[in-house]
Structure 1
Amino acid sequence: MEKLLCPSMMCAQFGNLEKEVKDLEEAGIDIFHLDVMDGNFVPNFGMGLQDIEFIVKQATVPCDVHLMVNKASDYISKFAEMGVQIIYVHSENDCHITRTLQMIKDTGICSGLAINPGTSFESIKEVLTLVDYVLVMSVNPGFSGQKYLSFVDEKLKQLCEKKKQYGYKVMLDGACSPERIETLSKIGVDGFILGTSALFGKEKNYQEIIPELRQL
Structure 2
Amino acid sequence: MSLILSPSMMCADFSNLKQEVEKLNNAGVDMYHMDVMDGRYVPNFALGPEDYQTIRSLTKKPMDAHLMIENPRSYIKFFSDLGADIIYFCPDAEKQPARTIDDIHALGKKAGIAVNTGTSFMTVQELLPNVDYVLVMTVHPGFAGQPFQDFVMPKLDQFIAAKEKYEFVLGIDGAVSREKINQLHRKGVDNFILGTSALFNKPVSYQETIAQIRKENQ
TM-score (norm 1): 0.98
Partner of 1:155: 155
What SS is found at the alignment partner of 1:200?
Answer: coil
Is 1:56 aligned to 2:56, yes or no? yes
Partner of 1:82: 82
2:175 and 2:197 in contact (8 A); partners too: yes
Give how far 1:140 is off: 0.5
| Misfit runs of 4+, over 6 Å | none
2:49 and 2:82 in contact (8 A); partners too: no
Name the aligned partner's letter for residue 158 of structure 1.
Q
Aligned length: 216
Distance 1:57 1:98 in 2: 31
Is 1:106 aligned to 2:106, yes or no? yes
Give how far 1:35 is off: 0.6
2:148 and 2:175 in contact (8 A); partners too: yes
Query: What per-residue deviation string (whole Å, max 9, x for no partner) do you get for residues 144-190 of structure 1?
Result: 00011011111111111111111101100000000001000011000
What SS is found at the alignment partner of 1:192?
Answer: strand
Give how far 1:48 is off: 2.2
What SS is found at the alignment partner of 2:121?
Answer: coil
Name the aligned partner's letter for residue 171 of structure 2.
M
Query: What per-residue deviation string (whole Å, max 9, x for no partner) do you get for residues 69-119 of structure 1?
Result: 001011100111111100000011212001111100111110000010111
Distance 1:138 1:120 in 2: 13
Partner of 1:42: 42
Partner of 1:182: 182
Gapped runs of 5+ residues in structure 2? none
Partner of 1:5: 5
Identity of aligned residues (%): 46
Distance 2:144 2:212 in 1: 22
Name the aligned partner's letter for residue 135 of structure 1.
L
What SS is found at the alignment partner of 2:196?
Answer: coil
Query: What per-residue deviation string (whole Å, max 9, x for no partner) do you get for residues 131-152 of structure 1?
Result: 1000000000000000110111
